[in-house]
Amino acid sequence: MDLTGKIAIVTGAAKGIGREIAFLLAKHGADVTVADLDQEGADAVAEEIRSLGRRSRGVQVNVANRPEVTAMVRDTIEHFGDLDILVNNAGITRDAMLHKMTEEQFDEVIAVHMKGTFLCMQAAAIHMREKRKGKIVNISSIAGKVGNIGQVNYSGAKAGIVGMTKAAAKELAKYGVCVNAVQPGFIDTDMTRAVPEKVRQIKIAEIPMERIGVPLDIAKAVVFLSSDYSDYMTGTVLEVTGGRYM
């Protein structure tokens, strides 16, 4: 899969899955805007990508903030001349049981995942429609399919991302823009390291491949969906779970 000359934005790319996606896109030839709330982290990843010989910039963005998202897309096009690939990966959890979940916990998670994905897709699609090409990959979660205890907010948001992916895919197909989603299972990052060890071990024991996923497992699926190897795919959801929830 050759992404030479392609320009990508990856949100939430200062660490975890997003960081790995940004690297793997760059290793396949893409130039990458590393977008994150964490400017310092984004700058560090961009610097590492530049050492691979690719162009890369760290950009501070809150994906739930329209002016910041508009600036992120404008900045990318100004500096790199185009936008071919958008990966909506930024995410948070604010876990609580339903009877204890606050409105703030609910609203924050919906804002980052659903509004963030909406705003980024919208800003990128304006450009991609005109150019009649583009790949958008949204990071959902298997939680959006099966529901997780303590994650009514997160499971709802991740299911919502699937609906948004399909609606956008239908709208944009005739403009040559593909919109797909990836549903990771249980992946070893700071997000899942926050899960109590006992629960982590139970979750890992349920995985047929007998190991927790690593960010690279997800990055490989994203690179596939960003490349011309997936040109006849749109509106699909790829589950990357080590066989869990078949």
Comparison of 71 and 175: residue with beta carbon closer to ligand NAI: 71
Q: Is 234 in the site for ligand NAI (CB under 6 A)?
A: no
Site for ligand NAI in 30-69 (CB under 6 A): 36-38, 61-64
Known catalytic residue: 229? no
Q: Does 207 bind ligand NAI (CB under 6 A)?
A: no
**Number of neighbouring beta carbons within 10 Å of residue 183:** 25
What is the Cα 95 distance to its own chain's centre?
20
Does 187 help bind ligand NAI (rule: CB under 6 A)? yes
Residue 23 in contact with ligand NAI, rule: CB under 6 A? no
Partners of 240 in the β-ladder: 184
CA atoms within 13 A on the CB side of 191: 21
27/56 Cα distance (integer angstroms):
12
Q: In the bound complex, what is the minimum distance in angstroms from residue 16's beta carbon to ligand NAI?
A: 2
89 binds ligand NAI (CB under 6 A): yes
Q: Could you report how far apart the first and last alpha carbons of the chain are, in Å?
A: 27
Q: How far is the CB of 230 from ligand NAI (least distance, A)?
A: 19
3-class DSSP state of 148: coil
Q: Give the DSSP per-residue string, 56-112.
A: EEEEE--TT-HHHHHHHHHHHHHHHS---EEEE-------B-TTT--HHHHHHHHII
Q: What is the footprint of ligand NAI within residues 96-155 (CB under 6 A)?
A: 112, 116, 139, 141
The residue (of 71 and 133) whose beta carbon lies closer to ligand NAI is 71
Element (H, E) at 182: strand 177-184
Name the one range near ligand NAI by CB under 6 A: 73-81, 86-94, 97-105, 171-179.
Answer: 86-94
Smallest distance from ligand NAI to CB 12, Å: 3
* Residues at the interface with ligand NAI (CB under 6 A): 11-12, 14-18, 36-38, 61-64, 89-92, 112, 116, 139, 141, 184, 186-187, 189-192
Instruction: Report the catalytic residues.
Output: 154
